[in-house]
Structure 1
Amino acid sequence: MTVYAVKNVASSAFLVTDGRRAMIVDTGVAGRAPAMLKQIADAGLRPADVGLILLTHHHADHSGSALELREATGAPIAIHRDDADQLRRGGRVDLQPTSLMPRLMKVMLAKAEIPAIEPDIVLGDEEDLSGHGGIGRSFVTPGHTSGSVCVLLADNTILAGDALSGGMLRARMARKPMFATDLDAAARSMRAIANHAPTTVYVGHGGNLTAPSVAQLKTC
């Protein structure tokens, strides 16, 4: 299993492949489709090899290029049922910062608009993604948003979206999400991720997270 990160200053998107098929996990902000398509080509794959575009949640820095990538690959877009309505509506959301730095960032980030997207697949709390053309399985990790999900791969790698974040100065150290709709739920989700004892955790901001820093989240 190989995970490729497609990064910019706003957030990371990921291409997951087992050498035969591929899945996109998050798409970055609007305008990032060419970077993902280049990564697909660099991995020796074709756009048609992408079987699923999975959004870990609805925020614009994760869903912004989903429509372009659906058109380019033909792959369906999947999101958890508790984030599906907000994705359909699009527009802006009220970000709720969890510490001082996100409070300072909120003014800029709150201007980003979610594209209005009708998802092709609405996920439940735990799904075998191979049944939807993807790889691994998803499990719900609410807190950052009510329908945030993670992806667990066969090698015990986790793609966590914004359920966790890297530190601002120590990018590989696991931290709570910068924004959360429910801090108690976010803490439970962090413990759930840690309980999987993942080998590597990929996140939307910072990372990749070290296994010891994720392990200590069990005590959150």
Structure 2
Amino acid sequence: MTAYTVHTVKNVASSAFLVTDENGAMIVDTGVAGRAPAMLQEIADAGLRPTDVKLILLTHYHADHSGSALALREATGAPIAIHRDDADQLRRGGRVDLQPTSLMPRLMKVMLDKAEIPATEPDIILDDEEDLTRHGGIGRSFVTPGHTPGSTCVLLPDGSILAGDALSGGLMRARTARKPMFATDLDTAARSMRTIADHAPTTVYVGHGGPLAAPSVAALKAL
């Protein structure tokens, strides 16, 4: 198995990830607008050049995950990929109506509703399952709708998963798996959480909190 590393780039609102191996790198999510320098610094700290990034994958279109995609595409030359069911919203940009799933997200909604998605034309439209090596990436993607219609996870070769916001960590217990804070369809989101658990991941990296402990993720099968 090719050795690779997952680097976490903390943002004000969420985490983005840089996955590196001997062949280069893949960015998974980009943080809010203005966070490209933090990712570029992480690339440099990993001993790589911006042009070593071969793919920018967005797990979904929300502004805290797609906000720096345009700047990173310009800096790296890497194509932007997103699932087909989220592509149109990414192209339109603007604001979306977030649907909170519990009390805390309802309190956060007033602030988050002001965030605008930069209108971005994706280069690669992902199907429900994709071998990302075909696009210069690492691992494979699989769709996990519910948070957004096209929310997508990345399964890495060792069984770990980058899940975007299909799951979240607890506010007090960051490594405990929780339902997403917002969902376009909560029932569908619950099914996607079970899909993630069915992969028996070694680790789950999420946009908020985490990384999630394996036993906590395994318990989602009972949902």
Q: CA deviation at 1:8?
A: 2.1
Runs of 4+ in 1 over 3 A off after TM superposition: none
* Structure 2 Cα separation of the partners of residues 211 and 171 of structure 1: 13
Q: CA deviation at 1:62?
A: 0.2
* Partner SS state of residue 54, structure 2: strand
Are residue 190 (structure 1) and residue 187 (structure 2) matched?
Answer: no
1:31 pairs with one of 31, 34, 40: 34
Instruction: Name the amino acid aligned to 1:70.
Output: R
* Structure 2 Cα separation of the partners of residues 167 and 7 of structure 1: 16
* 2:174 alignment partner in structure 1: 171
Are residue 218 (structure 1) and residue 218 (structure 2) matched?
Answer: no
1:64 pairs with one of 67, 84, 87: 67
Are residue 2 (structure 1) and residue 5 (structure 2) matched?
Answer: yes
Q: CA deviation at 1:53?
A: 0.1
Are residue 135 (structure 1) and residue 138 (structure 2) matched?
Answer: yes
2:116 pairs with one of 96, 103, 113: 113
Instruction: Name the amino acid aligned to 2:34.
Output: G
* 1:122 alignment partner in structure 2: 125
> 1:119-146 deviations in whole A, cap 9, x for unaligned?
0000000000000111100000000000
> 1:36-89 deviations in whole A, cap 9, x for unaligned?
000000001111110000000000000000000000000000000000000000
* Partner SS state of residue 91, structure 2: helix
> 1:188-208 deviations in whole A, cap 9, x for unaligned?
000000010000100000000
* 1:12 alignment partner in structure 2: 15
* 1:180 alignment partner in structure 2: 183
Q: TM-score, normalised by structure 1?
A: 0.99
Q: TM-score, normalised by structure 2?
A: 0.98
Aligned 1:88-103 pairs, distance under 5 A: 88-103=91-106
Q: CA deviation at 1:18?
A: 1.2
* Partner SS state of residue 9, structure 2: strand
Q: Is the 8 A contact 2:11 2:32 kept in 1?
A: no
Q: Please report the RMSD computed on the Cα atoms of aligned residues, expressed in angstroms.
A: 0.5
Say how many residue pairs are matched: 220
* Structure 2 Cα separation of the partners of residues 45 and 157 of structure 1: 23
1:208 pairs with one of 190, 206, 211: 211
Instruction: Name the amino acid aligned to 1:185.
Output: T
- Compare 8-17 and 107-116 and name the one that shifted more: 8-17
* Structure 1 Cα separation of the partners of residues 126 and 23 of structure 2: 24
* 1:73 alignment partner in structure 2: 76
* Partner SS state of residue 75, structure 2: helix
